[in-house]
Amino acid sequence: MRVVVMGVIGSGKTALGRTLAETLDWPFLDADDYHSEQARAQMASGVPMTDDDRRPWLLTLRRLLAERPQVVLACSALRRRYRDILRLPGTRFVYLEVPESLVRGRLEARTGHFVGADLLPSQLAALEPPMASETDVLTLHVAPEDTPAELRDRALALLGLP
């Protein structure tokens, strides 16, 4: 199984992805590590990526997923067409549904990351929440009081993993 932890910036994709990978003893990939320097600079300046900007990045992520039968990837995968690129046999998505106020607070407190709160509106605008027909996408509702361990355990239960 390949697991893609998805959601808007600041939703906790990387934290949950790392924890899942560690628990499962699977490799972890962070999609942010595969952005070009140009894309990083663009986002750091507050300019969101376009679909054309994202396509080569998504194709790289697809290749990386295809090379690993068991892996956890943290990736925004905001639109269905992005998920379709990543959708290989055996891939499951965990969509982190997080209140905007919680995400905004996390982003405003975050340091050392090239993407800040100024990109949140464009991420929310681009977000296409999973449709009922996307049976490989599981929704994990995140509340401010949730601990990382609780989120991990709920994600594992959704995925049917130990």
What pLDDT is attached to residue 92? 97
Copy the structure tokens of residue 92.
């499951």
What pLDDT is attached to residue 117? 65
Q: Residue 131: name the closest of 66, 81, 85, 63 by CA.
A: 81
Report yes or no: 105 and 117 within 8 Å, Cβ to Cβ.
no
Exposed/middle/buried for 117, CB within 10 Å: 0-12, 13-18, 19+? middle
DSSP state letters, 44-82: HTTPPPPHHHHHHHHHHHHHHHHT-SSEEEE----SHHH
Instruction: Split the chain (162 residues) into runs of 10 and give each run's mean pLDDT.
Output: 94 94 97 84 76 92 97 96 96 94 79 64 89 95 92 97 86
What pLDDT is attached to residue 109? 72
What pLDDT is attached to residue 10? 84
Report yes or no: 91 and 2 within 8 Å, Cβ to Cβ.
yes
CATH class of 2-159: alpha beta
HSE-CB at 154 with a 13 A cutoff on CA atoms is: 17
Report yes or no: 115 and 43 within 8 Å, Cβ to Cβ.
yes
User: Domain segments of the chain: what residues?
Assistant: 2-159
Q: How far apart are CA 149 and CA 92, in angstroms?
A: 20
Query: How much helix, strand and coil, in percent to the nearest 5, is found in the chain?
Result: 50, 15, 35
What pLDDT is attached to residue 18? 96
> How is residue 135 annotated by DSSP?
T
What pLDDT is attached to residue 120? 78
What pLDDT is attached to residue 116? 61
